[in-house]
């Protein structure tokens, strides 16, 4: 269920709901993702009732990946193509190098991975996965990669320089989503109280006092970030989430967001909604069906 739309409440106490709240904020909700497309315009359809947990768009190839309850799907192919084994990819993020992905969640039918998955990594864009750490221990519902390592939330906020050795961070918030850039150490955490921001790879955090209450966030570059409120209102930041400007609004229930700088340095904002994939090429002011004119 989305973060409730309500006035921001300041608090330094740990949220009473704790891990239960994060599971509610980012857990599965039935939906139907029907239309997917690549920047080149190919279209396809995903199976009904797909629970989308993550969205990745490659700035090099334009490949659009959806991480779902039923595995990873390449939305740039016609028809839409499933990649690799069936696993419930609750947490999902791209790494520093092209084709590197990190994920967490639960094994699906036919998978020989532990439950929960812990942190797993792919170096071939999701075709195969290797176990890194915390197998049988962690289900990272929020996960992101930074220049200095991985930041994840599995009921506790954790950081790792290599995805194998973890440090638990004292935090007075429960993130619905974590967003970072693999070429920067700035991380954003979305919470019902507002945006939390770290500039040291998730070790320390501050509240963005003038920021909106967003549910989803994504970096297009070390400086440019986008955020989406529970009602679909889009915000843009040119200074890595320190300040924000309100833009347009995404129609339909948003499930995942991605932002990318293309070869010509144009900002594209992607969103997976209950009705399909949409894209903005004007900084978030307007959105259209991905692949549409």
The ranges assigned to domains in the chain are 19-289
Report the pLDDT value the prediction gives residue 237, as an integer from 0 to 100.
98
For the ranges 72-76, 87-91, 93-97, which has the lowest average pLDDT?
A: 93-97
Report the pLDDT value the prediction gives residue 268, as an integer from 0 to 100.
95
Contact by Cβ (8 Å): 205, 172: no
Beta-sheet strands, E only, within 58-213 = 64-68, 71-74, 81-83, 87-94, 101-107, 119-122, 130-133, 142-146, 149-153, 157-160, 167-169, 177-180, 187-191, 194-198, 206-207
Report the pLDDT value the prediction gives residue 104, as an integer from 0 to 100.
98
Which CATH superfamily groups domain 19-289? YVTN repeat-like/Quinoprotein amine dehydrogenase (2.130.10.10)
Across 188-211, b (16+ Cβ under 10 Å) vs e yields bbbbbbbbbbbbebbbebebbeeb
Report the pLDDT value the prediction gives residue 33, as an integer from 0 to 100.
32
Question: Given a cut of 60, is residue 37 above it in pLDDT?
Answer: no
Contact by Cβ (8 Å): 166, 173: no
Question: Given a cut of 70, is residue 197 above it in pLDDT?
Answer: yes
Report the pLDDT value the prediction gives residue 49, as an integer from 0 to 100.
52
Across 55-88, b (16+ Cβ under 10 Å) vs e yields bbbbbeeebbbbbbbbbbbbbbbeebebbbbbbb
Question: Given a cut of 50, is residue 6 above it in pLDDT?
Answer: no
Looking at per-residue confidence, does 78 or 273 come out higher? Answer: 273
- CA–CA distance, 66 with 50 (Å, rounded to integer): 10
Count CB atoms within 10 A of the CB of residue 8. Answer: 15
The helix/strand/coil state of 122 is strand
Average pLDDT along the chain: 84
The helix/strand/coil state of 21 is helix
Question: Given a cut of 50, is residue 189 above it in pLDDT?
Answer: yes
Question: Given a cut of 80, is residue 5 above it in pLDDT?
Answer: no
For the ranges 24-28, 151-155, 195-199, 204-208, which has the lowest average pLDDT?
A: 24-28
Token pair for 278: 């949409």
Question: Given a cut of 60, is residue 4 above it in pLDDT?
Answer: no
Report the pLDDT value the prediction gives residue 44, as an integer from 0 to 100.
39
**Could you give the angle at the alpha carbon of 62 between the alpha carbons of 113 and 199, nearest 5°?**
70
Q: How far, in Å, are 18, 238, 277, 281 from residue 54 at the CA level?
A: 22, 23, 12, 20
Report the pLDDT value the prediction gives residue 97, as an integer from 0 to 100.
79
Instruction: Kindly report, residue by residue over 201-256, the tens digit of the pLDDT.
Output: 999 999 999 999 999 999 999 999 999 999 999 999 999 999 999 999 999 999 99
Question: Given a cut of 70, is residue 153 above it in pLDDT?
Answer: yes
Question: Given a cut of 60, is residue 149 above it in pLDDT?
Answer: yes
């Amino acid at each position: 269920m989305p973060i409730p739309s309500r006035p921001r409440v300041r608090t330094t106490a740990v949220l009473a709901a704790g891990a239960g709240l994060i599971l509610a904020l980012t857990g599965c909700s039935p939906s139907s993702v029907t239309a997917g497309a690549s920047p080149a315009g190919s279209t396809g359809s995903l199976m009904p009732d797909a629970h989308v947990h993550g969205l990745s768009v490659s700035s090099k190839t334009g490949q659009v990946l959806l991480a779902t309850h039923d595995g990873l799907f390449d939305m740039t192919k016609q028809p839409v193509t499933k990649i690799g084994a069936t696993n419930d990819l609750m947490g999902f993020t791209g790494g520093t190098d092209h084709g590197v992905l990190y994920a967490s969640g639960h094994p699906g039918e036919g998978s020989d991975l532990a439950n929960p998955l812990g942190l797993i990594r792919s170096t071939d864009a999701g075709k195969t996965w290797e176990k890194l750490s915390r197998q049988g221990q962690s289900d990272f519902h929020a996960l992101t990669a930074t220049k200095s390592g991985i930041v994840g939330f599995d009921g506790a906020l954790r950081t790792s320089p290599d995805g194998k050795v973890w440090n638990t961070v004292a935090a007075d918030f429960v993130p619905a989503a974590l967003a970072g850039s693999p070429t920067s150490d700035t991380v954003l955490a979305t919470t019902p109280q507002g945006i939390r921001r770290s500039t040291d790879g998730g070790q320390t955090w501050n509240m963005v006092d003038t920021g909106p209450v967003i549910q989803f966030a994504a970096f297009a570059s070390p400086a440019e970030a986008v955020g989406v409120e529970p009602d679909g209102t889009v915000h843009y930041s040119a200074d890595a989430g320190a300040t924000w400007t309100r833009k347009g609004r995404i129609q339909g229930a948003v499930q995942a967001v991605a932002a990318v700088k293309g070869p010509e340095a144009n900002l594209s904002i992607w969103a997976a909604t209950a009705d399909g994939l949409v894209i903005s090429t004007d900084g978030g002011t307007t959105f259209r069906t991905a692949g549409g004119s």
